[in-house]
Amino acid sequence: MLKYCFVLGLTLFSMSGTLHAQDTLNFPHLGEVIRHDDQMDRIIPADALIEVLASGFEWTEGPLWVPGKPGYLLFSDIPRNSVYKWEEGKGASLFLKPSGYTGVGNYGGEPGCNGLMLDSQSRLVSCEHGDRRISVLTKNGGKRTLVDNYQGKRLNSPNDLVFHSCGDLLFTDPIYGLPQRWDDPRRELDFCGVYRLKKDGELILLTGDMTRPNGIAFSPDEKTLYVAQSDPQAAIWNAFPVNADGSLGKARLLYDSTESVGKLPGLPDGMAIATDGTIFATGPGGVYIFTPQGKLLGRISTGERTSNCTFGGADGTTLYMTADTYLCRIQTRLTGLSHKK
């Protein structure tokens, strides 16, 4: 049974969006760590707790640690068309609005941005649902479109992204940001793609065979690309060999969680990779922890639909998680790959 211990000091938003003070000493806890293998002891301490850092959002996504002294976390609230900033000792505050839709009128229930990443110049790169593009936030505060179409047809709604060390940008493009999703009359592509945007601006379709590609991440040596599929009928993670020219080889099934769909909350979604190759992947029931071969070692069970995760903190060993209306974290013994870049 999941244990919930909510105490005073939880960062809450009222209906008006007012931010209340944060108590940095007594974060509420939720969920539990489920250990399927003894290797979990080297990954997460036995006494580690899932801390709730902030609450009261609609649907959190895209956590991104921005390094610095002391550094801070950015994350999306897609329905609110906003990005929030969380700082230790200060709590959460509005960072960017609008974040993913700048059009006129209503644009469905998920208009905001989703995945967030920093480019080589430490600029914020966003997967925008409503504007159906990937954008970069320039140093002067304006946005510039990096890509918004494939062969003249508008993208569906870019979801998650990862940079290759060469500077190319890989991203997924399912239909979740379209107001009517697959049946939306505004949809121009008849597939959901995984793409590579080259530094020179050329957009290459890597695969259109996954029904709902979602989270995306590289192995430490960049020889394997992991892609989550958030299809309730085939809730899987694939591992693609990356060829020398950047194309993908035949997919290897990393893990299939379809039987857990409906029994546990959530679907395969975002991912974070540790420097030793351990995979942290959100899915039904929280964050799954895999070896690169796809062996399930354990699960961080939040009890909520858990959308994404990233490593951060001063030494890169804290795993931050977006779980439905919550922003959470847990201490690990591993260092995130992103922290070393």
Q: List the domain boundaries for the chain.
A: 32-340
**Average pLDDT for 69-80:** 96
pLDDT of residue 1: 36
pLDDT band at 338 (very low <50, low <70, confident <90, very high): confident
d(CA 289, CA 295): 8
Quick: pLDDT tens for 181-197. Answer: 999 999 999 999 999 99
pLDDT of residue 11: 36
d(CA 80, CA 87): 20
Quick: pLDDT tens for 196-253. Answer: 999 999 999 999 999 999 999 999 999 999 999 999 999 999 999 999 999 999 999 9
pLDDT of residue 4: 34
Quick: pLDDT tens for 291-309. Answer: 999 999 999 999 999 999 9
pLDDT band at 17 (very low <50, low <70, confident <90, very high): very low
* Average pLDDT along the chain: 91
Point out which residues pair with 272 in neighbouring strands.
280
pLDDT band at 22 (very low <50, low <70, confident <90, very high): low
- 162: pLDDT strictly greater than 80: yes
Are 134 and 125 a contacting pair, CB within 8 Å? yes
- Give the SS3 label for residue 113: strand
d(CA 302, CA 2): 8
Tell me the Cα Rg of the chain.
Answer: 19
Are 294 and 255 a contacting pair, CB within 8 Å? yes
Secondary-structure class of domain 32-340 per CATH: mainly beta
Predicted model pTM: 0.91
